[in-house]
Amino acid sequence: MDLRHLRYFTAVAEERHFGRAAQRLGIAQPPLSRQIQDLESELGFSLFDRSRRRVDLTPAGAVFLAHVRRVFDALELAVHEARRASVGETGRLVVGYLSSLAYSGITELVRAFRAAFPSVELALREMPPQEQIEALKDGRIDVGFVRAPLDDARLAAERVRREPLVVALPADHPLAGRKRIPLELLSREPFIVFPRQRGSAFFDLVMGLCREAGFSPRIAQEALHLDILSLVAAGFGVSILPDSIKSIRRRGLALRPIVGAPSTDLLVAWREGDASPTLGQFLAFVRRVGVDKARARPPTGRRPTEVPR
């Protein structure tokens, strides 16, 4: 028994006439009659009552028709869902993100993506950059948002945005009155920094900028980005952070641009060679919408499906 037999049976059952069914199927009537006879022989019971001029279903044939229709409905659904999966409209994606992005774009981006692709299951994992890199390589996450540079042949990445860096100071600090702060004026200040083992790229960037300004910073505390703000506001020291940190309002804190406007790049990263259509849709969406306060409502009209580059 194959789908051809079932299609032939359904046509005869719906037309109640072998001639009309043959015409509908585009075949001659004798081969159609033989195919139905073969099907009945395989099943071991009659599907049609041929004793009258009109072809009627037997009780067994009526039951069989109901189930055959479910088979075709299920097949149609399977094709539809498989087609959606093939272009990334369904599936599951695990996304890693930085804690500093929690209030500065990732929430809006995810909301907009979910509105555009409601059948894609998104799982978010807040992770420091180095942990994201390891999680990408061993398959625990599918895509991540990390700071540049990213130098690993197993990973691919694209820049999502370039962020200026700012100095975080206690609000009553003497330098807080300046509109812009030269880094050399921080040479005697205690620094609160993000731990290198949790994000070497950003740590090395800050250290390099300080060395270019003529000093090596005196590290007083290590903390995560959100904790850094609390420690700075409490007067434990100063810090250099991405501009996106401004979206987190904290009393007792002053954020000032740096003379020369040094910056850091935010990257979206994934495993090199990952051809997942769902990943492709997510990357296309990030390229199109971006992380900077992505609109709550997604862009109207989807563009052609894109794949990871």
Give the CATH number of domain 3-86.
Answer: 1.10.10.10
For residue 190, pLDDT beyond 70: yes
Instruction: Classify domain 163-263 by CATH architecture.
Output: 3-Layer(aba) Sandwich (3.40)
Whole-angstrom Cα distance, residue 220 to residue 189? 9
On whether the CB atoms of residues 9 and 64 are closer than 8 A, the answer is: yes
Domain boundaries defined on the chain: 3-86, 93-159+265-289, 163-263
User: 18-25 and 3-15 are packed helices; what angle lies between their axes, rounded to 10 degrees?
Assistant: 130
Examine residue 30 and say whether the peptide bond preceding it is cis (omega within 30 degrees of 0).
no
Q: How confident is the model at residue 303 (pLDDT cuts 50, 70, 90)?
A: very low
Helix (H) or strand (E) holding 280: helix 277-289
On whether the CB atoms of residues 173 and 190 are closer than 8 A, the answer is: no
Compute the average pLDDT of residues 4-11: 90
Q: Give me the pLDDT at residue 262, please.
A: 94
Give me 109's structure tokens.
């981006």
Task: Give residue-wise pLDDT tens across range 53-76.
Answer: 778 899 999 999 999 999 888 888
Q: Give me the pLDDT at residue 81, please.
A: 67
Q: How confident is the model at residue 300 (pLDDT cuts 50, 70, 90)?
A: very low
User: The tokens 């495993």 sit on which residue?
Assistant: 271
Q: Please check whether the two domains, 3-86 and 163-263, share a CATH topology.
A: no
Whole-angstrom Cα distance, residue 243 to residue 265? 11
For residue 125, pLDDT beyond 50: yes
Half-sphere exposure of 245 (CA within 13 A, CB side): 26
Helix (H) or strand (E) holding 258: none
Question: What's the CA angle centered on 140, arms 92 and 292, to 5 degrees?
Answer: 65
Lowest-pLDDT range, 101-110, 169-178, 212-221, 276-285? 101-110
Amino acid at 270: W
Whole-angstrom Cα distance, residue 255 to residue 243? 9
Q: Give me the pLDDT at residue 102, please.
A: 65
**What is the full DSSP assignment across 8-68?**
HHHHHHHHT-HHHHHHHHTS-HHHHHHHHHHHHHHHTS-SEE-SSSS-EE-HHHHHHHHHH
Task: Give residue-wise pLDDT tens across range 106-122.
Answer: 778 888 898 888 888 88
Top-tier CATH class for 93-159+265-289: alpha beta
Nearest to 148 by CA among 105, 193, 103, 208: 208
